[in-house]
Structure 1
Amino acid sequence: MKNLPPVAKALIALLVILLAAETLLRSVEGTLSGNVAHIVEIPELADNLNKSNKPGLLILGNSLTNDGIDASRLQSGLNMQGQADSTIEKIVPDGTTIWSWTCILRNRIYELKNKPDTVLIGFAWGQLADQSRLLPTSLGGFFCSYKDLIHITEQATMNSAQIGEFVTASTFRLFTHREAIRNKILSILIPHYMTSTQEINRRLRGTNSAASASDTTYRELSLTIEQLKSYGKDIVLMAMPIRNNPYSLDPELLNTVKNKDITLLDYRNLDFITDDLFTDEMHLTKAGSALLTARLVDDLAKIRSTPH
């Protein structure tokens, strides 16, 4: 070390600091935000399904589904309907779309010995389309493997910058959590920073996730349906309600649902889900969630009682 030039010593010191920071961050990342804490617990949630001797129900989606469906009410409601007791788990990370959900299925669910009997996916806008937004940092850092990267590039267009972002996030937690770390710092320095940022993000999510109806495809969804059916499992899609009902269902999605013979529950425009049951443009209050969950109980009971 003594004979090394100053630049080399500085680089070594920087590397040691980065490795120490990386190790520390990996040990405490669950404290960065509620969403990251939920992502960290995904392996545990999958293991709960695997260890259970009861029929499994996996709910996939994002914050719309998280706020919209109450797993405890769903469980008790199904029991009251005389349905078999189930193990219900929700995996609903913020801002996710079909690409995150299918990575979760491939890396956490398909490998289970006891796979869930039913996978319920909540969505809005174009979140099921191949053209839904790709978030390379989240995909690489949280949900997908390097093998998934090959699959995604075969199904969707990723430029070199996006691929580099995916690979970097897969390797370095400091890079993956850069926004969460920034938000933590700015929320301390700037009053109401998080509230304002969340409102902007909510508006952008709705706008950015909608694909043009003329060019939407559903190859990834179709592959997911086929995979789950090959295991003898059911998949149910759930179109989530949004205040003022600002989105339509793509005809190509409806064709996919029909051709693949699966169930789509259309909850976009329910009479009893009124504007006062939303906390913002998209997310239901607890009262709204209770009403929507009660409707889902009835619909799942009908689906389960219908011969396949």
Structure 2
Amino acid sequence: MSLSTSNSKKNKIKLLLAVLLIFSTIEVFTRTIIFHASKDFARFDNYPALSRDLTNSEGIKIALVGNSLTQRGINLDILSQDLKQSEGKNFTAKMFTADASKINTWHFMINHYFWKPKRKPDYFLVHFYEKNLQDGNAIETGRLAQFFTTPSDWPDLFRLDITNPGEQVEFGISSFWATFAARERLRERILGIAVPHYKDFTSETNGVNFRMGKKNQAQKHPPVRYEALQRLLHKAKQEGSHFCFIAFPTQPTTDPLPYSLDPEAERLIREAGMGFIDLRHVAGLELKHYADEIHLTPEGAAIYSHALATALKPVLGK
């Protein structure tokens, strides 16, 4: 072997080690910094302990599952106090939310943090609006891969939720490579640092997308399916879990109600023996109580929490 060949192999090995070092450093940075810097991801680390604390608590145990509507729309102290006063019992309520999540993600969150470890609160309250309960909603695969599923969930996940082979490969990579899973979060954090007023821009863009989505929804009528909802309801009955689905009041419009409900979704829920509450209109909620088209201010959350406690009396009294 010539000296030049030997040096070439050594250089390749050095290059490979350097690349591995860079990727390892980025991976450690993602897991230790980015995951904790993201309010959404940081919450997920606490969910195993939170679900354990909830199921070990005294009184009636309530798990609230949903997206940022639930996170910003409900005051847990007000809800628990109102329920205690009306029912004469102690209530413990905890939130398990993921921003912009829908029915698919909620199924795997509940399965991962409650059903698999055999933890059973007395009630699951699931807040939704518009198409949250329908099939076909976009799924953030990174957090689903890293936090809410294990390989044992993949057959079910690939059968119904992620059916495209390319997306399935991406999901598999995301399960083991945190940097790949959090690539969108990394992009947003870099842009947030580099681009002035980036958060204000994205907030406005989200509002425009929300309004455009409602316009497109009115123009297009694709077939509506509820396989993910049916899967959740079937699993809930198997586990002996009690659910109540609650239609959330988004920002008031000139119409009597801010959005329509599909009777088929309500039928499936009620036939499964679960609760269904329509709170699309809540007395006292005005435009000033909304931070944007879908999120309540703290004052709005207080109003809604009182209304929710009242609406839950027939459900919790069963």
State the TM-score, normalized to the length of structure 2: 0.87
Preserved contact between residue 52 and residue 87 of structure 1 (Cα < 8 Å): yes
Q: How many residue pairs were aligned?
A: 306
Q: Secondary structure at the match of 1:194?
A: helix
Q: Paired residue for 2:246, among 223, 238, 244?
A: 238
Aligned to 2:3: none
Q: Paired residue for 1:249, among 237, 261, 271?
A: 261
Aligned to 1:198: 203
Correspondence 1:73 to 2:78? yes
Q: Secondary structure at the match of 1:41?
A: helix
Correspondence 1:31 to 2:36? yes
How much does 1:191 deviate? 1.4
CA distance 1:97–1:184, shift in 2 (3 Å): same
Aligned to 2:27: 22
Correspondence 1:284 to 2:296? yes
Q: Secondary structure at the match of 2:134?
A: coil
Amino acid at match of 2:247: A
Aligned to 1:134: 139
Deviations 1:40-91 (A, max 9, x none): 2222221212332433100000011111111111111111113421221101
Unaligned runs of 5+ in 2: 1-5
Correspondence 1:215 to 2:210? no
Aligned to 1:170: 175
Aligned to 2:103: 98
Task: Provide the rounded CA distance (Å) in 1 between the counterparts of 2:162 and 2:39.
Answer: 31
Preserved contact between residue 237 and residue 272 of structure 2 (Cα < 8 Å): no
Task: Provide the rounded CA distance (Å) in 2 between the counterparts of 1:59 and 1:213.
Answer: 31
Task: Provide the rounded CA distance (Å) in 2 between the counterparts of 1:199 and 1:161.
Answer: 32
After TM superposition, list the pairs within 5 Å mapping 1:39-58 onto structure 2.
39-58=44-63
Task: Provide the rounded CA distance (Å) in 1 between the counterparts of 2:227 and 2:190.
Answer: 40
Q: Paired residue for 1:265, among 256, 259, 277?
A: 277
Task: Provide the rounded CA distance (Å) in 2 between the counterparts of 1:29 and 1:187.
Answer: 13
Q: Secondary structure at the match of 1:67?
A: helix
How much does 1:100 deviate? 1.0
How much does 1:157 deviate? 5.4
Q: Secondary structure at the match of 1:4?
A: helix
Deviations 1:134-177 (A, max 9, x none): 33223223322223232022224521221122112111111122
Aligned to 2:193: 188
Task: Provide the rounded CA distance (Å) in 1 between the counterparts of 2:241 and 2:89.
Answer: 16
State the TM-score, normalized to the length of structure 1: 0.90
CA distance 1:83–1:231, shift in 2 (3 Å): farther
How much does 1:192 deviate? 0.8
Amino acid at match of 1:234: H
CA distance 1:267–1:11, shift in 2 (3 Å): same
Preserved contact between residue 130 and residue 219 of structure 1 (Cα < 8 Å): yes
Identity of counterpart residues, as a percentage? 26
Task: Provide the rounded CA distance (Å) in 2 between the counterparts of 1:210 and 1:33.
Answer: 31
Unaligned runs of 5+ in 1: none
Amino acid at match of 2:224: T
Aligned to 1:274: 286
Task: Provide the rounded CA distance (Å) in 2 between the counterparts of 1:95 and 1:210.
Answer: 18
Whose Rg is larger?
2
Task: Provide the rounded CA distance (Å) in 2 between the counterparts of 1:293 and 1:171.
Answer: 39
